[in-house]
Structure 1
Amino acid sequence: MPPSYNPAMTAFDRDRALRLAQETFDIEARAVAGLKARTGESFARAVEKILDVRGRVVVMGMGKSGHIGRKVAATLASTGTPAMFVHPAEASHGDLGMIKAIDLVLAISNGGESDEITVILPVLKRLGVFIVAMTGNASSTLARHADVVLDSGVEMEACPLQLAPTASTTAQLALGDALAVALLDARGFRSEDFARSHPGGALGRKLLTHLSDVMRSGDAVPRVTADTAFPQLMREMSAKGLGASAVVDDQGKPIGIFTDGDLRRLIEKGVDLRAVVARDVMHPGPRTIRDDELAAEAAALMEQYRITSVLVVDAEGKLVGAVNSNDLMRAKVI
């Protein structure tokens, strides 16, 4: 009787490990590239049917194909196609009730003969559910029951024993991604739509956070008029902690800005600050941004003009807020 496998019995061969890694990359790259020639009318029909489905795309798969199926379902759901994963084994014990006639089933199985899937195929057909098969066996039970067959077959697995699903699961993953990409393009899916399903991520914060959500407003915004004496200007800046103060006209529209950097430069020049007013030291025509713009736009404006704060105005051009780089960092926009 042959001994059971014991890792300690095999000496590690560094060169062999590197060679196997490189061969794995080559085999799996060929598996993905091979899909290109076999992706045609059936793929287009699958995309068309998914676009028309009134319910959800229900993804199924057993074993390693099931892991791929979960990822495919998640990718579809995050790119505008309502989708969920249903475990085939659980489907036979009640979860089949999750699937309605208005849904579409995407069943993934390399061999196409997984018992847990084949046993529920007749039930799905009786329900009138449209079935898309992703399989490497065009003559399998799954392929025969499917309305559309996507060929995910590979010539060989990367596993040297030809046992562990490797190249075949890579091909399934690539084919699932191709479906998601084709679908999001057909739906006109935009980065803003993607952000709505990822509100907790960095992209979500950048694409969903508006200036009105993070800006300083009301009395927290430092502002003076053009005739404000310099000592009062400094008190306003110090009290509000923005590192700058807006200079506004009688209508509340910003006409200038004075910053901490301006103060340092005036001191270096030896200017008699007791004799000046805000008009004398402000930068006219300050950079402003609308309050309904994204906070990320304010960050881009600061980077473009190498400034650390920007004034926020409403649709009429009146000062309603201010934001600096620290505010954007706290909001995790930058």
Structure 2
Amino acid sequence: MDRPPGLSVRVKLTLSYAGFLMVAGVLLLAAVWVFLNRVPHVGLLLMPGYQYAVARAFAPIAAVSLACLLVFGLVGGWFLAGRMLAPLTRITGATRLAATGSLAHRIQLPGSNDEFRELADSFDTMLARLEAHVAGQRRFAANASHELRTPLAISKTLLDVARTDPDCDTGEVIERLSAVNTRAIDLIEALLLLSRADQRSFTPEHVDLSLLAEEATETLLPLAEKHGVTVETGGDITPTTGSPALLLQLTTNLVHNAIVHNLPAQGTVRVTTEVRPRAVALTVENTGGRLTPQLVPTLTEPFQRGTERVHTDQAGVGLGLAIVKTITDAHDGTLTLTPRPTGGLRITVELPTPNPRSYERHTAVGRF
């Protein structure tokens, strides 16, 4: 935005200091003048032309005093304004560095806690979050490009083989192409869902997490039987507000993840809902291999999988828990991942509870 040039803040502060000092000087000299002319002085009053002599003597002294005050005010004001605005200069330099794309710089303003220090600390916090966000976006873009390139490269290889090898099994090539294409479609849909959840482009509605847990469990029951996993459900009615579609996707991802990443045989998945103070909780717990505390926090990052998970037939696209985290954040909730001592993982999603009266009105309308 183009704006006409103007005086700097330092010049304005300098002129303000000098002007205030000049006003104070004028008032002081006026007080002295009144004192000399109005207060009776014995002996001086007997001298003829006393007031005229005082005026001639006082005028040059007052002029010199005001000139000295002006110079002193300008010099001192310039120095004081520079000292006062030094933190702002550091903040401006950091802002310019950030504008060029350098987000690793921090102001780290020393001194006591004042307005400038609070501004600098807030700016440092913003830079740290922005740097982490940009790094995550770059990592996400790189991983997404890699994940999308893989099925495309496989499809190209299969097509080249079918084109150059007249004896190849066409049915097998078509089947493999269909599987690769399905994986690519699943990945793109997961990316779109992740983007929509991150933008919070939904209208909040009243939702019961316990009903969503039952629906997700019934949908994935054939998959659980295929893997030899027993699914147990239970808990309280857990009312909350949010997007029913996104929260169902969250629940489905958690249950699917718990079924697929389980013991090879006789695994267990427990899905429970619970009402807590000022929140409702959905917990999905499964048996499985032991997970290290260092690995667990990385599971919610996009395209992050355990080393043993990539080679299964249900490895997914690496966005299941990333979508869960994004949906949880979009609903102002908290996501907690805890490794079980005996193996497996416990995942808990806490969401805020709605206004009780509002929820009662909603359920009463729903009954009618």
- TM normalised by structure 2 equals 0.20
More RCO (CA 8 Å, sep 6+): 1
Q: Could you say which structure has the larger radius of gyration?
A: 2
Higher-helix-fraction structure: 2
